[in-house]
Amino acid sequence: MSSDREFVFTANDFAHVQKLIYDNAGISLSEQKNDLVYSRLAKRLRKHKIHRFDTYLQLLEDEKHPEWEEFINALTTNLTSFFRENHHFTRLSHHLKDNFSRATKDKPVKIWCAASSTGEEPYSIAMTVASAFGKINPPARILATDLDTKVLDKAIQGIYQLDTIEKLSAVQKERFFFRGNGKSSGQVMMRPELKSMVTFNQLNLLSDWPMKGKFDLIFCRNVMIYFDKPTQYKLLDKFSKHLNKGGLLFVGHSESFPDASHIFKLDKQTVYIRC
């Protein structure tokens, strides 16, 4: 800990933050994350005009304190992009064409994007579905959830900087986005048909899941990496109960679950099939 820091942040305070975020969001923070925690939460102390982390953390003793939402939002890592790990979208497209050509509005393909961050991932799914069915309003429903309410707000708006879509093809840009002009130049907005395919809701993967029916496909990418092994396997067990047999589970590039082979068979490149 360096003494030239603006706020008092002791080893005890760090341990306290580690416990709070683990118990409430499942996120395991290693010792190396000390500086990251300091810088992310320093903004919150500044906002409250508090000078010590222990005083700030006292606010969270009240389970209903509005600061809880800000605390969790500050400590989540929301990095994402359109068509991240592009091979997953190629796989999705083939899977849809091979298995769901008979889907209808009454019996749509059901997809869950379980850590959707600012929306680039569920909208990439929506674009892939639209392309696979060859229509902008295909028979598909996408549920997109995240713990962080700030990223959900941005996702619902569906407005992005132009450079975030630079790698998309000209056809994708034209079909799926409106280009901003005037005050909004330099921005793009998802077309309403795409937005209407996706429902955004807050959901903590560690809490109870309110969804009743099963999904055909689940994306849970680049979030389980923040959880410890017992939490990851508990989640996989829950995913298996929410995914139809033969359904696909897409996980992040550095996530692998060899001990779940009784419920999920590794297909290839971080795509698992529900046994």
Ligand X SMILES: C[S@@+](CC[C@H](N)C(=O)[O-])C[C@H]1O[C@@H](n2cnc3c(N)ncnc32)[C@H](O)[C@@H]1O
Count of positions on this chain that bind ligand X (CB under 6 A): 24
Binding mask 230-259 for ligand X (x = CB under 6 A): ----------------------x-------
Give the Å distances, CA to CA, from 215 to 155, 162, 248, 255, 268.
Answer: 21, 32, 9, 21, 20
Kindly state whether residue 70 participates in binding ligand X, applying the rule CB under 6 A: no
- The correct pick among 103, 146, 235, 243 for binding ligand X (CB under 6 A) is 146
Q: Which of 40, 52, 84, 175 is catalytic?
A: 40
Q: Is 221 a catalytic residue?
A: no
Identify which of 55, 51, 83 has the alpha carbon closest to the alpha carbon of residue 67: 55
- Candidates 1-9, 127-135, 160-168, 202-210: pick the segment binding ligand X (CB under 6 A): 202-210
Give the Å distances, CA to CA, from 147 to 115, 180, 248.
Answer: 8, 29, 22
- The correct pick among 34, 55, 78, 244 for binding ligand X (CB under 6 A) is 78
Kindly state whether residue 13 participates in binding ligand X, applying the rule CB under 6 A: no
Considering only residues 82 through 141, tell me which ones interact with ligand X, judged by CB under 6 A: 84, 115, 117, 121
- The correct pick among 17, 20, 27, 190 for binding ligand X (CB under 6 A) is 27
What does the alpha-carbon distance between residue 94 and residue 132 come to, in Å, rounded to a whole number? Answer: 8
Buried b (16+ CB within 10 A) or exposed e, 88-117: bbebbeebbeeebeebeeeebbbbbbbbbb
Residue with tokens 């790698």: 167
Kindly state whether residue 156 participates in binding ligand X, applying the rule CB under 6 A: no
Rounded to 5°, angle at Cα 139 from 144 and 209: 30
Q: Which residues bind ligand X (CB under 6 A)?
A: 25-27, 76-80, 84, 115, 117, 121, 146-148, 151, 204-206, 221-223, 226, 252
